[in-house]
């Protein structure tokens, strides 16, 4: 009976993960396809832009976050390999006991969906489609404008945030039997 319950719990876990993973991946790819067909790259005058505005502005990022490594030779292959390794790491984390927690599982699935969305575009186009542009405060240079981003970036950040929340709020497990607090075996007297 316990084995059946464990099997049912595992199936529920997989279904939840796949639903969130597929939903975030489809939302990302769908919005990127929409942006490629409906959003134009625009010049925005920094002097006339208002603070705290959000706009659509098409951009193609051949590097990684904030445009880093966009001049790296072989970046398409190197960054694609890193993306594949990241998805492998997500699989490793999925198999760990922490993934039994729903908050952690949601975060992991969002990270996987966002990572696959950016990886798919990088492999297919050689660049990632970005189209959301945020203008923060003129006095804070990094937010004027904030680097253009996409749905994958949003779900990646939310996913990592959920995993961090879990890591700070998860109960600390007691040390395994036969081990002291330092993880070393205890002597029997």
pTM: predicted TM-score of the whole model, two decimal places: 0.80
136-163 confidence digits (pLDDT tens): 888 887 777 788 899 999 999 999 999 9
CA distance 183 to 180: 5
Residues 6+ apart with CB under 8 A from 25: 113, 114, 116, 117
CA distance 118 to 153: 8
Residues assigned a catalytic role: 130, 153
Cis peptide before 2 (omega within 30 of 0): no
CA distance 152 to 115: 7
46-95 confidence digits (pLDDT tens): 778 888 888 899 999 887 665 556 666 677 788 889 889 999 999 999 99
């Amino acid at each position: 009976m316990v084995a059946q319950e464990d099997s049912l719990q595992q199936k529920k876990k997989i279904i939840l993960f796949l639903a969130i993973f597929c939903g975030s991946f489809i939302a990302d790819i769908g919005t990127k396809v929409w942006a490629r067909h409906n959003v134009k790259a625009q010049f925005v005058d920094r002097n006339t832009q208002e603070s705290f505005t959000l706009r659509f502005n098409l951009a193609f990022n051949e590097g990684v976050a904030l445009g880093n490594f966009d001049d790296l030779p072989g970046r398409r292959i190197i960054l694609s390999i890193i993306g594949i390794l990241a998805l492998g790491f997500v699989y490793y984390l999925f198999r760990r006991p922490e993934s039994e927690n729903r908050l952690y599982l949601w975060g992991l699935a969002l990270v996987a969906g966002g990572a696959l969305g950016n990886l798919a575009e990088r492999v297919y186009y050689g660049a990632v489609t970005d189209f959301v542009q945020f203008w923060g405060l003129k006095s804070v240079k990094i937010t004027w404008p904030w680097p253009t981003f996409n749905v994958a970036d949003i779900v990646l950040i939310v996913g990592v945030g959920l995993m961090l929340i879990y890591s700070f709020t998860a109960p600390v497990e007691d040390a395994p039997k036969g081990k002291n607090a330092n993880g070393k075996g205890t002597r029997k007297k």
